[in-house]
Amino acid sequence: MQRLLNSGTWSRPTDKTAVYLEIKPGKIWGIRVTIFPHTARVEAVNGPKCTWYKAPIRFSKEVTPPNFLERLQGITFEEKLMEEVSDKRKVAAEENAKLESTRDYLNA
């Protein structure tokens, strides 16, 4: 997992979880991946201290291990996780673009 997610920082808040945070320099929005023993949560966050409570799927989604049919198709947990990471990176990029366009509008 760490070889796939290597642009940000990893931390270990507890023995059973790992948190990956990726926010590009000069940007506000980024992604956070929280890895639990059997699942993971992938979030688009607006800063390192952002917390979501019942966030919309656009911003936060739980990734579960592949079910029986997915395993038959050869889909792995890492593939499911990286697909969701890619989706949340797009959301973060969209939100950063919105902020920049608003900033440009206000400065014009």
Percent of the chain with pLDDT over 90: 70
Residue 66 burial (10 A CB sphere; 0-12, 13-18, 19+): middle
Q: Which amino acid is at 51?
A: T
Per residue in 28-71, pLDDT (tens digit) is: 999 999 999 999 999 999 988 887 778 899 999 999 999 999 99
Nearest-Å Rg of the Cα atoms of the chain is 15
**How many other CB atoms sit within 10 Å of the CB of residue 58?**
12
Q: Are the beta carbons of 10 and 2 closer than 8 angstroms?
A: yes
